[in-house]
Amino acid sequence: MQSAKEKPLVYSCSGCSSAAQMANDLALKLNRQGVAEMSCIAGVGGHVKPLVVTATSGRRMIVLDGCVLACAKACLQQHGVVPTVHFNLSKFGVKKVKNETYCPQQSEEVYDQLLQQINTL
Ligand code: SF4
């Protein structure tokens, strides 16, 4: 079992669209299941010191973005941080729809695909 400090960090975008909600929930699930330790991307984008210290600590890092705009990745780029692996959910067929939640079945399928790729990190 990896200690908390050895686990990769996970960040996700977060927003109103179905894709952003799925990205955030997938990151929460990775955290809950002990695959990675989630930290808050809003603090990284907002230059909040303790959260920037975590983000720039050099740990392996998984980043989930809901669409091609890659907001979470852009927040990290402000601090010169490049994730170990970056997932754009649109490449998994996830649609970005406003005012709707995502399909739970699709989220399960995407989670399984993420795990397969994360396990090779
Ligand atoms: S990456 Fe796309 S889905 Fe995520 S917050 Fe940015 S615009 Fe929204």
Instruction: Provide the residue ranges of all domains of the chain, joining segments of one domain with +.
Output: 9-116
Which residues neighbour 32 within 8 Å (Cβ) at sequence distance 6 or greater? none
Mean pLDDT, all residues of the chain: 95
Instruction: Please tell me the least confidently modeled range out of 1-15, 34-48, 69-83.
Output: 1-15
Distance in Å, CA 15 to ligand 1 centroid: 7
Look up the pTM and report it.
0.95
Which residues on neighbouring strands pair with residue 10, listed in sequence order?
38, 62
Binding site membership of 20 for ligand 1 (Cβ less than 6 Å): yes
> How much of the chain, in percent, has pLDDT values that exceed 90?
92
pLDDT tens digit sequence for 22-54: 999 999 999 999 999 999 999 999 999 999 999
Distance in Å, CA 58 to ligand 1 centroid: 24
Which residues neighbour 93 within 8 Å (Cβ) at sequence distance 6 or greater? 106
